[in-house]
Chains A and B, each alone.
Chain A
Amino acid sequence: MSVHPEKEKWEAAASKLMKGKSPDVLNWKTPEGITVKPLYTAEDLEGLDATNTLPGFAPYVRGPMATMYAGRPWTIRQYAGFSTAKESNEFYRKNLAAGQKGLSVAFDLATHRGYDSDHPRVAGDIGKAGVAIDSVEDMKILFDGIPLDEMSVSMTMNGAVIPILAGYIVAAEEQGVKHEQLQGTIQNDILKEYLTRNTYIYPPEPSMRIISDIMSFCSKEMPKYNTISISGYHMMEAGANSVLQTAFTLADGVEYVRAALKSGMDVDTFAPRLSFFFGIGMNFFMDIAMLRAARLLWHRLMSQFNPKNPKSSMLRTHCQTSGWSLTEQDPYNNVIRTTLEAMSAVLGGTQSLHTNSFDEAIGLPTDFSARIARNTQIIIQEESQVCKVVDPLGGSYYIESLTQAIVDEAQKIIDEVEELGGMAKAIESGMPKMRVEESAARKQARIDQGLDVIVGVNKYKLANEKIDFEVREVPATVRDEQVARLKEIKASRNPIAVEKALTDLTNAAKNGGNLLEAALPAVRARATLGEISDAMESVFGRFTATTRCISGAYASEYSDKNKEVIDAIRKRCDNFLEKTGRRPRMLVTKMGQDGHDRGIKVIASSYADLGFDVDISPMFQTPAEAAKMAVENDVHIVGASSLAAGHKTLVPALIEELKKLGADDIIVVAGGVIPPGDYDYLYDKGVKAVFGPGTPIPESADKTLQLIEKKYIQ
């Protein structure tokens, strides 16, 4: 069949409805560069790579399992963790009792970066964005009363994978659970850390070795354990569109396969244990098609390694709804956003799912918001009847066509990556990072112009925002508790045994030997996470990121109609230069161990487009370091970005440090995930403005400029 026999009639009818215009004007060019038409017909199914295939069979477009949710629904796996191991454990147990099926542990940033809670660099991070773990004693408390032989445990850990995975194994041993009984997933996806999230410790080369060591150990000792979760989620959160997310995630996957093959493993021993993790955003159909396309592409990509086991080229994935799509404004709307995203993941055929709590743009989930998030999934599973049919959208003209479009576009990018020599080399070249950042800057520009609608943010705004629910806050005493327990552990263990185990680990790092295996005795001897991490760092070194920043993308996304806003700010910057002898100069900085740098990158790039001189600090600054930089660069203003609940300690500390250097005239503003309830606290401490999530760039730039103008132009 070719063109629909009555297509012309439809075109005429459509044209009539649109006062004579061709229906082509309804075509929509998505951020991925795909042209979406207003109508799809059977014609669009012609020549596609895979239509009318079966679930459970290659190329798995319709799902990796034959029966999918008709047989068993996806696993409701809520990612959580905060404060101490004890508090997180109580939270987990409550959730498991209320219908959650698997555990997913969030660690705090100090743990991610291999620091014990008493390390001076991490004072503002303890227990904030996840649970603080310093030793196996914390691990044991975390899983207290949770049988590790039955419970599948997912752990989001990439930097400190060795001490954490070893800690989990030893905690299980001490529960009487054998290695081979353990089931779950460790994220262990270091490549994307260099690309977006920045919670790495070591340079790429030793990090890739650690991954191979874990794969090798687990293929022998823990056959039910997923040794890696190759993650696109963080790329999406950093601003990648769906094609970029698919391409870079699968390219990462290929790189891990090559690393494992290079270390001498057979493809079928580890490939079936590779799992994926995709982020699902608000483009409903796009992300359904994305999951289908990813499965097809993975099957295609894996065929080059000639696996014998079909499971080796079967993409299984966890999904999470987008945290970035959540708004601080009118936050109950987030329940609806999360529901739509969850539906998208379900119709795309995910194996497990995390739904965000509606309050995550404001603070950590509470019992109440966690319940709503969990029930979102339970209602889809148990009330809506969507589970009854496998891949219900299979055969849809639009979905099938869109699936193919993503396959084609992603393949092009994967080819580019291959030309650069694979993902590790591509990351070194900076290409993927630049693409993601460009995509983020363009998205921000579309939002700021109202082209991408966000209800409550750039349309249908509330006149008065009011928070009428509880916001969870982690008390600063968590650090004291952790430090006290560290002291206790260090006093009660056998120092000679610890010393020996750590030396053995350092030797393994130096001379070869499986690092996970070598870390187990150290964990058993009660060496701390920081000590174990240091034992390897002494050989591997600590990685320093190369930060590049794009320019021009933000402004170029502005249509001529909306350019006025930009031009007005540019003019004020020019005027400021004329009056004061230089441009408004701003330092954007991230303090603490929070590596989410999408925000400061977008700010830096767009403010430069608006006429500011923008300094960017290295990642992971202490307040004193940020103050030194502000002084040396002699900026007018410092913008501190905080997404990990460190704002109440770190931002006031920065103001203090500036004072110490005699630079209390430097203005400080803050932005990021900051609960509105904390604004007054920050103002009291001397912060001049706070920009919550969703603040349009021109609005924050205007406010920032006003502050500087008021001070320097009489």
Chain B
Amino acid sequence: MQIDIEPYIEGVQAGNRLLLARTITLIESTLPAHQQAARSIVDRLLPKTGNSVRLGITGVPGAGKSTFIESFGTMLTSMGHKVAVLAIDPSSTRSGGSILGDKTRMEKLSVDPNAFIRPSPSSGNLGGVARKTREVMLACEAAGFDVIIIETVGVGQSETTVASMVDFFMVLMIAGAGDELQGIKKGVLEVADTIVINKADGDNVLRAESAQKEYQAALHLLMPQSPHWNPPVLTCSSLKSTGLDNIWQTILDHRNKLTACGELAEKRRSQTLDWMSFLVNEGLRDWFYSLDQVKNTLPLLRKRVEAEQISPTAAAAELLSILEQEKN
């Protein structure tokens, strides 16, 4: 089945919501024909991409990510920006199905004509969706969105993948959930460009401020990623819409500083290269595991390793030797 990609390309560039949405569906599809079409579309859109502020947001469940994006995104559209939100939803069940409820917490933003929100089911494979998110981001840029927000839950491996495709990575926290870094792995803090303590409102303000100090101290112990940027710890209230303008200002400061010293361009370049090698690795792996001989041999080898009839090293070597045969 041949897919005519021209309408998609024209539609996305004209900012047509329906065709952007359907392009995303092609990108996310597991069918090879769709993926191939998606690659061609994204390739053709490439000249129109790269002009957005790319933001990644993570945080543990309950940190208020969706509510934050609702308030923050609404502020941005009121300033004249066009905002696309890509939400990776890990809520997959044993059935493989999922519930995508992000927009219920983005009541205003979801109906905003200058916003586009697309939740994506992870189908139990966070890495897999994150891989496609990058291309989705490019499609949104080509459709004219100048701020792209990628939301991911901070409990899997997806957040480091997301961090490697955005300009600015934000970790959302709440005060009073203990000082054990709330289940967020240290690796996530290392890639954070800022930590934001959300829900700094009502009787929570003092707790938020003391959490701010604690995280600031904790961040000092980490080596900053960039010599030009010390990740600040900020507070905000999505509920009362306070502190949001300050966060946007911080993002712009970061952008200006890193643009001035050339680091932003460098970051994007190296992200692109990393992206390519990532894809090569993925492709190699997929190709390798799809080989008939691998499919046949692997289960037998696994059994033998389990039964301690062969060492794991020897088994791996035997499996990889299939590559030698493929070469010929």
- Selected from B16, B70, B91, B104, the residue in CB contact (under 8 A) with A551 is B91
Q: Is A573's CB under 8 angstroms from B97's CB?
A: yes
Question: A539-571, CB under 8 A of B: which get 1 and which 0?
Answer: 000001111110110010000000000000010
- Selected from B16, B93, B104, B239, the residue in CB contact (under 8 A) with A552 is B93
Q: Which of B27-35, B188-196, B266-274, B279-287 contacts A (4 or more CB under 8 A)?
A: B27-35
User: Hey, which chain A residues are within 8 Å of B29, CB to CB?
Assistant: 580-582
User: Hey, which chain B residues are within 8 Å of A453, CB to CB?
Assistant: none
User: Hey, which chain B residues are within 8 Å of A580, CB to CB?
Assistant: 29, 31
Closest Cβ neighbor of B28 among chain A residues:
A582
- Selected from B24, B95, B110, the residue in CB contact (under 8 A) with A634 is B24
Q: Is B103's CB under 8 angstroms from A555's CB?
A: no
Q: Is A605's CB under 8 angstroms from B99's CB?
A: yes
Minimum C-beta distance from A393 to chain B (A): 43
- Selected from B30, B34, B93, the residue in CB contact (under 8 A) with A577 is B30
User: Hey, which chain B residues are within 8 Å of A633, CB to CB?
Assistant: 21, 100, 103, 118-119
B220 contacts A by Cβ under 8 Å? no
Q: Is B91's CB under 8 angstroms from A582's CB?
A: no
B111 contacts A by Cβ under 8 Å? yes
A68 contacts B by Cβ under 8 Å? no
Which residues from 78 to 97 on chain A have a C-beta closer than 8 Å to any C-beta of chain B?
Answer: none
Which residues from 5 to 22 on chain B have a C-beta closer than 8 Å to any C-beta of chain A?
Answer: 16-18, 21-22
B172 contacts A by Cβ under 8 Å? no
Q: Is A613's CB under 8 angstroms from B95's CB?
A: no
Question: B61-73, CB under 8 A of A: which get 1 and which 0?
Answer: 0000001001000
User: Hey, which chain A residues are within 8 Å of B182, CB to CB?
Assistant: none
Most chain A beta-carbon neighbours within 10 Å: one of B16, B24, B94: B94
Which residues from 592 to 650 on chain A have a C-beta closer than 8 Å to any C-beta of chain B?
Answer: 604-605, 607-619, 625, 628-629, 631-634
Q: Is the interface of B mostly helix, strand, loop or mixed?
A: mixed
Q: Is A625's CB under 8 angstroms from B17's CB?
A: no
Minimum C-beta distance from A618 to chain B (A): 4
A619–B101 alpha-carbon span in the complex (Å): 11
- Also in contact, A549 and B111, with CB within 8 A (given A581-B30, A582-B28, A633-B119): no
User: Hey, which chain B residues are within 8 Å of A662, CB to CB?
Assistant: 16, 18
User: Hey, which chain A residues are within 8 Å of B108, CB to CB?
Assistant: 544
A128–B97 alpha-carbon span in the complex (Å): 36
Q: Is B110's CB under 8 angstroms from A618's CB?
A: yes
Q: Is A616's CB under 8 angstroms from B30's CB?
A: no
User: Hey, which chain A residues are within 8 Å of B47, CB to CB?
Assistant: none
A663 contacts B by Cβ under 8 Å? yes
B106 contacts A by Cβ under 8 Å? yes
B98 contacts A by Cβ under 8 Å? yes
A574 contacts B by Cβ under 8 Å? yes
Q: Is A661's CB under 8 angstroms from B17's CB?
A: yes
Minimum C-beta distance from A644 to chain B (A): 19
- Also in contact, A613 and B101, with CB within 8 A (given A582-B29, A631-B17): no
Q: List 17 A-B contacts (CB under 8 A).
A: A544-B107, A548-B101, A552-B94, A578-B30, A582-B28, A582-B30, A608-B98, A612-B97, A618-B103, A618-B104, A618-B106, A628-B111, A632-B118, A633-B21, A633-B119, A634-B25, A661-B17
Query: Closest 7 CB pairs between A and B?
Result: A581-B29, A547-B104, A581-B31, A634-B21, A608-B97, A618-B107, A611-B95
Given A547-B101, A633-B118, 4 more A-B residue pairs with CB atoms under 8 Å apart are A544-B107, A551-B98, A581-B29, A608-B91
